[in-house]
């Protein structure tokens, strides 16, 4: 009975948090709701007795959202509304369509093909963290490495963007000081 009540509670709160994430116009509200939604998702893992995955969900994904939160605070002026202009709508439509097609193929491939088998050894008597490690570094090694490279690229891009923004603000500050001295 407790698991059923907790499941419905986590489900309702998760749906509300992700709805706020999508529908909010304020970037900081969206990121706060996203972090809360990620924490609620970890509740599902705890209900399924996958404690390790629940803790990883909190540490990794909620930590990533908090890093996104920090970047959002640096890059956005949250006191004004952000008006976004899509410069290449055809490209956005093409990339969205390709992503949707890739997702459909990934979801349908295991159903269509009967001969897909696990590439990792099934070891008896290992605990949850060891089993996750075995699966992660055997069957899911390539996606794990791709995710690591994507995170590295995102981190480098964030540093480059922050550096450009800092250069612009310093340039504007120097120009303002120069104009003030010239006016005197």
> DSSP readout, 100-115?
HHHHHHHHHHHHH-S-
Q: What is the CATH number of domain 1-82?
A: 1.20.120.1200
Residue spans of the domains in the chain: they are: 1-82, 126-184
Tokens of 90: 């055809």
Cα distance between residue 93 and residue 141, in whole Å: 31
Q: What is the pLDDT of residues 10-25, one digit of tens each?
A: 888 899 989 998 888 7
> Average pLDDT, stretch 173-183?
65
Nearest to 18 by CA among 3, 6, 35: 35
Q: What is the pLDDT of residues 112-132, one digit of tens each?
A: 666 655 555 566 777 777 777
| CB distance 31 to 69 below 8 Å | yes
Q: What is the pLDDT of residues 54-96, one digit of tens each?
A: 888 888 887 777 777 777 776 666 555 656 677 788 888 888 8
């Amino acid at each position: 009975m407790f698991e059923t009540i907790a499941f419905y509670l986590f489900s309702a709160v998760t749906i509300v948090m992700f709805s706020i994430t999508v529908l909010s116009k304020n970037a900081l509200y969206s990121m706060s709701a996203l972090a809360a939604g990620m924490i609620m998702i970890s509740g599902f893992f705890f209900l399924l007795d996958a404690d390790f995955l629940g803790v990883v969900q909190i540490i990794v994904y909620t930590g990533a959202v908090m890093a996104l939160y920090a970047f959002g605070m640096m890059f956005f002026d949250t006191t004004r509304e952000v008006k976004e202009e899509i410069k290449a709508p055809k490209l956005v439509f093409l990339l969205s369509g390709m992503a949707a097609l890739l997702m459909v193929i990934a979801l349908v491939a295991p159903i269509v093909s009967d001969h897909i088998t696990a590439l990792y050894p099934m070891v008896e008597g290992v605990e949850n963290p060891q089993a996750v490690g075995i699966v992660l570094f055997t069957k899911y090694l390539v996606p794990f490495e791709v995710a690591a490279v994507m995170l590295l690229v995102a981190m480098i891009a964030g540093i480059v963007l922050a550096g450009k923004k800092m250069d612009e603000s310093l340039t504007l500050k120097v120009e303002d000081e120069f104009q003030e001295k010239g006016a005197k």
